Amino acid sequence: MNVQDASAKRFQFSHVVPGIDRYQGLIGAIDWLMMAGLVIKTHINANAELPLLAFCKESLFKLYLSDVGLLGAMVGLPPATIWQYQYGTYKGYFAENFVAQEFLCATSADLFCWQQYRSEIEFLRVIDADIIPIEVKSGRITRAKSLQKFIDLYSPPFHVILSGLPLQIDQHAGRYQLLLYMASQLRSPSILFSKN
Name the more confident of 4 and 82: 82
Q: Are 50 and 56 in contact (CB under 8 A)?
A: no
pLDDT tens digits for range 54-100? 999 998 899 999 999 899 888 888 888 877 777 777 888 999 999 99
Residue 115 region by backbone torsions, left for phi larger than 0, else alpha for psi between -120 and 50, else beta: beta
pTM for this structure?
0.86
Tell me the average pLDDT across 38-48: 95
What pLDDT shows up at residue 112? 98
What pLDDT shows up at residue 82? 76
Residue 126, C-beta contacts closer than 8 angstroms, at least 6 positions apart: 50, 52, 109, 132, 188
pLDDT tens digits for range 85-142? 777 778 889 999 999 999 998 887 899 999 998 999 999 999 889 999 999 998 777 7
C-beta neighbour count of 109 within 10 angstroms: 13
